[in-house]
Amino acid sequence: MRPDPAQARALAERAVETTSADQAEALVMMGSTALTRFAGNRIHQNVAEDNAGIAIRAVVGTRTGVAATNHLDVDGVRDCSTAAVRAAMAAPQDPDFPGLPNPEPITELERRSAATAGFSAEERATAVRAIVDQSASRGLVAAGTVSVSEQAFAIANSNGISAAMPTTFARATVLSTGPDGGTGWASFSDRDVSALAPAALGDEAATLAERSANPGELEPGAYSVVLAPEAVADIVNFLAYAGFSAKAVEEGRSFMSGRLGEKLVSEAISITDDALAAETIGLTFDFEGVPKRVVNLIENGVAVSPVTDSYWSARTGSPNTGHALPAPNSYGPMPLNLEMAPGEETIDGLVAQVDMGVYVTRFHYVNIDEPVPVLLTGMTRDGTFLIENGRLTRPLKSLRFTQSAIAALRDVGGVTRDRKLLGQDAGATHVPGLLLRSFEFTGQTD
């Protein structure tokens, strides 16, 4: 079954019409995905999936229950609806439940690429060949993925919301490894696979792998860092996870809790969530069918506002920004289309400002030690270099950092003009490179 937004919408509307609940919401997700994975310069895994499912949220009084199924025949959807109502009936009344949202105009944007939807297994293999050749021809070994997905989403509720949208997403990654410990990384993500230049991507990774051969040691301590966009994206995504939700702010778990309107980080830092941005990926409405609004999260270093959904909008008395995740949702609202404002610099220009520091291509396995300061620990990976006197001088082994993201963002030396889009099926993070004046490295690998 190919993802079809009209079919998805009809299914969602029919499910809402036939429920016995006081109110009901149906979310239909149809997806066709394919991923070709390579390692050791050969394709070793190659998979495809077709699936479609419906999730029904039933409301009885102020009680809610959710059931989901991928059995989409009449009996399957009826059983799902019955299970949702049964779940709602079992729950106690929730006096804070504000009811399902009402319809609002939704911005319709083209987020589906026919090229991505039609990208075949042979075309994926051809792209892999072009990527791998760049490493194999230099005595390096390439690993990575080329993947495409096509999705159709539809949301309907008994208040009249009926939204549907097709999306596509294409991604390619490559990690090139050399015989002398050098590794290099490059990645691509876009709605349109036509924008993929596989040979150039393979060349970027292979060149970085050659350049990072024979990595050396670095004494742990605080250094200036120049972060490539992929590393910046990790930090921004953890800020979102830890602190950009109205739920986290309300519960006192966020760095923004009790500090809205205060300058928390450098004035060089502005972060918005903008699902309507030209380059981004994903839906223009949230998983309750509410239009996603542009939200200034941090503006010139000042904490402005978190994102909300219908529940947390009602709880906090602030507008619904349209950032609901699928129900039931214990995380609270979440921004999925983060944009960090660009600056005027280049990566080379940032490096030129550093007397002694570290260049980071990307991070690995980052996790939160403490939520309010967003104290993160993780490793660098695949292209870490020492910066001396304004230039990259030698490659470094992977370093461990233990650093508060909020503290690191207080002293920003510069922001690049060019940004990179790091995508996923449900959204994207669009970020520049950064120079941070103090970043604590606490160890390194063997």
Partner 1 sequence: MRETVEAALDAARVAGASYADARIVDTTDESVSVSNGRVEGVESSVSAGVGVRVLLEGAWGFASTADTSRSGVDDCARRATDIARASGLVPGNPVHLAELTPVIDTWHGPCQKDPFDVSIEDKLGVLLAADEYLRAEAAVKITKSKLGFQKVRKWFGSTEGSYIEQEYVESGGGIVAYAIKDGEVLPRSYPNSHGGQWVQGGWESIESLDLVGNAPRIAEEAAALLAAQSCPIGEVDLIIDATQLALQVHESIGHPTELDRVLGDETAFAGTSFLTLEDLGVLRYGSDHVSVTADATVPGSLGSFGYDDEGVPAQRDYLIRNGLFSGFLTSRESALAMNRTSNGCMRADGWNRMPLIRMTTVSLEPGEWSFDDLVADTDEGLYVETNNSWSIDDRRLNFQFACEIGWEIKGGKIGRMVKNPNYTGITPRFWNACDAVCSRDHWSVSGVPNCGKGEPMQVAHVAHGASPARFRGIRTGVGR
Nearer to partner 1, 120 or 194 (CB): 120
Residue of 183, 173, 97 lying closest to 396 (CA atoms): 183
Provide, rounded to whole angstroms, the least separation between the CB of residue 148 and partner 1. 12
Tokens of 107: 């911005």
Q: Are 391 and 403 in contact (CB under 8 A)?
A: no
Nearer to partner 1, 59 or 340 (CB): 59
Nearer to partner 1, 103 or 371 (CB): 371
Nearer to partner 1, 189 or 416 (CB): 189
Provide, rounded to whole angstroms, the least separation between the CB of residue 186 and partner 1. 11
Provide, rounded to whole angstroms, the least separation between the CB of residue 104 and partner 1. 25
Tokens of 410: 């207080």
Angle between helices 198-211 and 121-136 (to 10 degrees): 30
- Give burial (CB, 10 Å; 0-12/13-18/19+) of 278: exposed
Nearer to partner 1, 37 or 211 (CB): 37
Provide, rounded to whole angstroms, the least separation between the CB of residue 400 and partner 1. 5
Nearer to partner 1, 173 or 305 (CB): 173
Nearer to partner 1, 342 or 373 (CB): 373
Length, in residues, of the chain: 446
Provide, rounded to whole angstroms, the least separation between the CB of residue 383 and partner 1. 12
Nearer to partner 1, 343 or 395 (CB): 395
Provide, rounded to whole angstroms, the least separation between the CB of residue 363 and partner 1. 10
Nearer to partner 1, 352 or 372 (CB): 372
Provide, rounded to whole angstroms, the least separation between the CB of residue 312 and partner 1. 13
Nearer to partner 1, 137 or 442 (CB): 442
Provide, rounded to whole angstroms, the least separation between the CB of residue 110 and partner 1. 25
Provide, rounded to whole angstroms, the least separation between the CB of residue 260 and partner 1. 15
Provide, rounded to whole angstroms, the least separation between the CB of residue 173 and partner 1. 6
Q: Are 171 and 214 in contact (CB under 8 A)?
A: no
Q: Are 139 and 206 in contact (CB under 8 A)?
A: no
Provide, rounded to whole angstroms, the least separation between the CB of residue 45 and partner 1. 6
Nearer to partner 1, 219 or 446 (CB): 446
